[in-house]
């Protein structure tokens, strides 16, 4: 009798513990509201909940899942540029995840169906086939590109040769932006290609030519972070210092990268320039010239 009573007591305790209501998070509240009624307001609320979580927890194990869900919501809300950035972020930060093949296909759909950018779509398809040849939808993609096969390397070489227009003696901004975009796609979908770091560095330099300095910094940083042993990494490290110094006037960041460059590449051809620039951070150009002239 006593044993029966004990079993009953344990069962009641277990039931009372399991029946406690789960703690509702901002995401779970927003997901519940969206599931109960898909409206522009509930869509925006759920998008905001995902965005706030990702901002606060960029390396969480849930980050890629939430980023994909956020991209889907942005597509539904016709926010294709924002969706594009989140899909790219999945490929850049978590390429080995199960979401990457689907993220690539969604990228291709946005480029082709929504942005009418056939060049971008073709580049994504090539990268998808190169990296995910055994994915369940690879056969469908192969059929789509069979009639018009694309060589992304040839595409980039062609664009690169047309960035500067001899007719106008200035940069063709459309071609330059196309080059930057395809260089990113190449690195996102073929990250192990020996050419990816080179294309990203050239894209950073192109962004700098157009005075899009935050974009240049992002591209140079991509090279430094993802390709630490590539021959372009030294050049990108130097250019990070130079861009922060000369263009952004952020001398703290400039110092960091100049010192990093000199520490890692003391024998590099640009080492002497890096030393001079480091010694003269924040000094006007004409004063630097005057100092160098006095040194003889």
Taking only the tens place, the pLDDT of each residue in 96-119 is 999 999 999 999 999 999 999 999
Q: What are the respective helix, strand and coil percentages of the chain, to the nearest 5?
A: 75, 0, 25
Mean pLDDT of 188-212: 96
Average pLDDT, the chain: 91
pLDDT at 292: 67
170: part of which helix (H) or strand (E)?
strand 170-171
Model confidence over 162-176: pLDDT tens digits?
A: 999 888 889 999 999
pTM for the model stands at 0.86
> In this predicted structure, what is the pLDDT of residue 22?
59
pLDDT score, position 194: 86
Which pLDDT belongs to residue 18? 47
* Average pLDDT of the residues in 75-86: 97
**Cα gap 34→69, rounded to integer Å:** 12
Would you state the pLDDT for residue 290?
A: 72
For residues 37 and 32, what is the distance between their CA atoms, to the nearest angstrom? 9
> According to the model, what pLDDT value does residue 179 have?
98
Which residues touch 60 (CB under 8 Å, ≥6 apart)?
Answer: 53
Q: Return the closest-CA partner of residue 90 out of 110, 111, 106.
A: 106
- What's the confidence (pLDDT) of residue 296? 59
pLDDT at 21: 54
Q: Which residue has the higher pLDDT, 6 or 96?
A: 96
Contacts for 286 with CB less than 8 Å, ≥ 6 apart: none
> Which tens digits make up the pLDDT trace of 27-36?
999 999 999 9
Query: Of 17-26, 53-62, 257-266, which range is least confident?
Result: 17-26
Q: How far, in Å, CA of 102 to CA of 138, rounded?
A: 11
Q: Residue 16 above 50 pLDDT?
A: no
The H-or-E segment that residue 171 falls in is strand 170-171
What percent of the chain has pLDDT above 70?
91
Domains identified in the chain and CATH numbers: 33-124 (1.25.40.10), 151-230 (1.25.40), 237-296 (no CATH)
């Amino acid at each position: 009798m006593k044993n029966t009573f004990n079993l009953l007591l344990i069962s009641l305790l277990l039931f009372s513990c399991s029946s406690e209501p789960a703690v509702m998070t901002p995401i779970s509240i927003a997901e519940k509201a969206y599931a109960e009624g898909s409206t522009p307001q509930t869509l925006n609320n759920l998008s905001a909940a995902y965005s706030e979580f990702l901002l606060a927890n960029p390396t969480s194990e849930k980050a890629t899942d939430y980023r994909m869900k956020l991209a889907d919501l942005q597509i539904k809300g016709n926010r294709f540029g924002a969706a594009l950035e989140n899909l790219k972020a999945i490929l850049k930060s978590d390429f080995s995840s199960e979401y990457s093949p689907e993220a690539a296909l969604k990228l291709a759909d946005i480029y082709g169906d929504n942005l009418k950018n056939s060049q971008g779509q073709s580049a994504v398809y090539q990268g998808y086939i190169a990296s995910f040849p055994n994915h369940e939808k690879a056969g469908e993609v192969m059929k789509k590109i069979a009639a018009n096969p694309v060589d992304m390397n040839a595409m980039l070489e062609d664009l690169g040769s047309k960035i500067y227009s001899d007719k106008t003696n200035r940069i063709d901004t459309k071609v330059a932006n196309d080059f930057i975009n395809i260089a990113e796609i190449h690195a996102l979908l073929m990250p192990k290609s020996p050419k990816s770091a080179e294309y990203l560095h050239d894209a950073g330099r192109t962004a700098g030519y157009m005075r899009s300095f935050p974009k240049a910094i992002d591209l140079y940083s991509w090279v430094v972070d993802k390709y630490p042993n590539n021959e372009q990494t030294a050049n990108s490290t130097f250019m990070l210092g130079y861009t922060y110094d000369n263009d952004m006037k952020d001398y703290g960041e400039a110092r960091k990268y100049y010192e990093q460059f000199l520490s890692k590449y003391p024998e590099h051809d640009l080492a002497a320039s890096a030393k001079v620039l480091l010694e003269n951070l924040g000094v006007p150009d004409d004063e630097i010239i005057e100092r160098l002239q006095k040194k003889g």
